[in-house]
Copies of this chain bind each other. A is one copy, B any other.
């Protein structure tokens, strides 16, 4: 144990592997541009494939494209410890979101293989965590939460999605049949940057995530009348741009004034036809709402729907307020949280518990097996941006906490089983 207590990851190898996994799709601003199933993303997966085989792990890819490195010591079906994250990024995102988690998991798996060769370990890179097409596609497919309907309404458009699947050698049937069984897994652990400023503000080394917020996505479309921008009197216009613009402001104001515990964002607007000299006939706002509390999220949705209706009436527009997709809130496993906590004590790192305001694959896995999420600080809270940054020491802390949390968790499972056996014997 004392020996185990001094166990650390191989910093040099970790740094080199992370750099290698950040190579494909790198941007001039030191970010990553690897939307799921893009050429850059597929190249990054090939790079990871090569690393897996080169390090003597078995390779596995399921029907959803989830890519795994396997250490299977024996043929008998012991439950596997699953570690991972994702290699895809948002358009022009950062280096740390997902990729650091995969590099950490891969490093920890190599250490575990040495110190505990009998334990089956799987390192997984989930497909489309960021939802370029369908958010958490890979982990939701694996945990059996993905329905055919989810795959019929991808973001972007359906044809582009099908072309991307084909380019990646994937199929709808393959995705839907890639569900795995909870018996296969001991538990799931992930390390990820916080993507906020809470840890940095409190100067805390490690965040122990209690659960994830729910994420609800909407397409809010204002229908006006495309008309000549020079000859249509200002007071006779049905200008969809005015409705969408006022709605965008209302979304921000409503959350700030009445829903302090929620987030809401309009991150994109599509104008049609979209020209200097044509009044916008149709504008679609891409909106998302986030909250830990499903009730509050619903109340906010209703408040914003009402605002949108008022705005539409004000500007003589018609309204479509479509709920596109939701990711339900999810609690993390308490026993894994305790393992993370004691590993922080062991490594003498400060920690705090906190909810995750972003979605993560761990929330899908939580429906399949005990799951836990470890946060490390994000400098300035920059995220989904090339300005994303975490000091290297913090990255090392995250990987070491992942290593010791995994060990502590496996120990606690062994203890529990031994206890169960004794109970059986004594009865």
Interface centre among A135, A196, A227, A280 (most CB of B within 10 A): A227
Task: Give the chain B neighbours of A274 by CB distance below 8 A.
Answer: 91, 267-268, 286
Residues A383 and B227 in contact, CB atoms below 8 Å apart: yes
Task: Give the chain B neighbours of A255 by CB distance below 8 A.
Answer: 234
Task: Give the chain B neighbours of A226 by CB distance below 8 A.
Answer: 92, 384-385
Nearest CB on B from A267, distance (A): 5
B90, B196, B279: which contacts A277 (Cβ < 8 A)? B90
Given A246-B249, A255-B234, A278-B90, verify A271-B268 contact (CB < 8 Å). yes
A373-403: contact bitstring with B at CB < 8 Å (1 yes, 0 no)? 0000010011111010000000000000000
Given A196-B231, A231-B358, A384-B227, verify A277-B131 contact (CB < 8 Å). yes
B197, B232, B276: which contacts A268 (Cβ < 8 A)? B276
A195 CA to B229 CA in the complex, in Å?
10
Task: Give the chain B neighbours of A263 by CB distance below 8 A.
Answer: 229-230, 234
Task: Give the chain B neighbours of A362 by CB distance below 8 A.
Answer: none
Please classify how large the interface on chain A is, using the bins under 10, 10 to 19, 20 to 34, 35 or more: 35 or more
| Closest B residue, CB atoms, query A92 | B273
Q: A135-B277, A215-B277, A228-B383 are in contact. List 15 more A-B contacts (CB 8 A).
A: A91-B275, A217-B276, A228-B385, A229-B263, A230-B357, A232-B381, A232-B383, A236-B381, A246-B249, A265-B277, A267-B278, A267-B279, A268-B275, A276-B288, A278-B385
Residues of A within 8 A of B (CB): 90-92, 130-131, 135, 155, 194-197, 213, 215, 217, 225-236, 239, 241-242, 244-246, 248-249, 252, 255-256, 263, 265-269, 271, 273-281, 286-288, 290, 357-359, 378, 381-385, 387
Provide a sorted-by-A list of 12 A–B residue pairs whose CB atoms are within 8 angstroms: A90-B273, A131-B276, A227-B383, A228-B385, A239-B265, A244-B245, A267-B279, A268-B280, A275-B286, A276-B286, A276-B288, A277-B288
